[in-house]
Structure 1
Amino acid sequence: MIFVTVGTQPNGFLRCLKEVEKLIDTYGITEEVVAQIGYTNFLTDKFTTIPFTGENEFKEYIKKASVIITHAGSGAIFSSIKLGKRIIAMARLHDFNEMADNHQTELVKKLSDGGYIIDGTYSLVDAWPKLEKFVPRANDFQCDIVPVLDKYMSDLMK
């Protein structure tokens, strides 16, 4: 199963979900795809969509997934890294009115450069073939980094 999560931002993340449709069509993906779409107004017959999940249900989807396609929220990314998942992250971009700034691109770049994830910010179709040889770097963080990053990002927004 491929699990897609776009987070819970009120403005949704339509670009990511359209890219998932394109990805399925381009590569003829037949594996089950489940997407947590939050507030995104989106209908498709290509994969299963659910608006929101509880924390435990979210963790179960991540555990079951062979691949995670995610927005660049630190919680989703680091939860997946902890479980050794293959992750393609698509940062929300200011240019598309998806975020107030481009801070998510910085996180994706650092984690991609470090070998933890694949950067799919501009194209999931281009990122997908990289999965074939991708072995994610093991979680070697010395602390629970999610609260640290959340505080850092909050401080940046002040």
Structure 2
Amino acid sequence: MIFVTVGTHEQPFNRLIKKVDELVANGDIKEKVIIQTGFSTYVPQNCEAHKMMSFDEMQGALKKARIVITHGGPSSFIEALQFGKVPIVVPRQEKFHEHVNNHQVEFTKLIAKQMNNIIPVYQITQLKETIENYNRIITTKKTGESSNNGKFIRKFEIIVDDLMHGH
């Protein structure tokens, strides 16, 4: 199962939801897909969709998922990491009116470089290939315990702190 979460930011993230829906429709994704759509206006036709999910529903989906695809909101991918997953992170972009600025892109780049425990996808056209090659890609990433302990969380907090206070 693939779980997609776009978080609770009030701007739609139709670009990601549409792409995943299209990949299922084309047969590129053959497993079940559950999407938390948030404030997106596009309604997926080929996936199980929930506008919002309770904490327990989210935890259940994160636990069961073979692949977790998230937007670039830190809490979304931290949750995936806490379940030992290497999330595919598709940051929201200002030019597509998905966020007020490009901080998700900057944040994703920083975490990918410094922590090497996420799979960033900056061009939505790369999503199909990333999903197809997921098992090979994760072998090059830090997973499980190394990313789910106090040391990781402290390092993550330092990175967030540096970002918030302009390095």
Tell me which residue corresponds to 1:22. Answer: 22
Which residue number in structure 1 is paired with residue 116 of structure 2?
A: 115
Amino acid at match of 1:148: E
RMSD: 2.7
> Separation in 1 of the partners of 2:100 and 2:162?
12
Match of 2:46, SS state, is coil
Aligned to 1:81: 81
Quote the Cα distance in structure 2 between the aligned partners of 1:116 and 1:82. Answer: 11
Measure how far apart 1:52 and its partner are. 0.3
Q: CA deviation at 1:22?
A: 2.9
Partner of residue 43, structure 1: 43
Cα offsets for 1:121-154 (capped at 9, x unmatched): 2121243233130224131551645993797499
Task: Note the C-alpha offset of 1:59.
Answer: 1.2
Q: Distance in 1 between matches of 2:132 and 2:27?
A: 9
Structure 2: any 5+ residue segments left out of the alignment?
none
Whichever structure has more helix as a proportion of its residues is: 2
- The answer to whether the aligner puts 1:133 opposite 2:167 as a matched pair is no
Distance 1:36 1:146, change over 3 A: farther
Deviation of residue 29 (structure 1)?
A: 1.7
Aligned residue identity for 2:17: L
Aligned length: 157
Per-residue CA deviation, residues 8-28 of structure 1 (Å, 9 max, x unaligned), is 111121011011123324553
Is the partner of 2:34 in helix, strand or coil? Answer: strand
2 CA distance for matches of 1:141 and 1:109?
Answer: 22
Determine the structure 2 residue equivalent to 1:91. Answer: 91
Following TM superposition, the consecutive aligned residue runs of length 4 or more in structure 1 with deviations greater than 4 angstroms are none
Q: TM-score, normalised by structure 2?
A: 0.80
What's the secondary structure of 2:110's corresponding residue? Answer: helix
Q: Measure, in 1, the Cα distance between the counterparts of 2:40 and 2:159.
A: 23
TM-score by length of 1: 0.84
Match of 1:3, SS state, is strand
How many percent of aligned residue pairs carry the same amino acid? 25
User: Is the CA contact 1:36–1:50 (under 8 Å) kept in the aligned structure 2?
Assistant: yes
1:66-124 CA distance string (max 9 Å, x none):
00011011111011112211311100001111111111112222333343111112121
Please, which runs of 5 or more residues in structure 1 have no aligned partner? none
Shift of residue 46 of structure 1?
A: 0.9
The answer to whether the 8 Å contact 1:70/1:87 transfers is yes
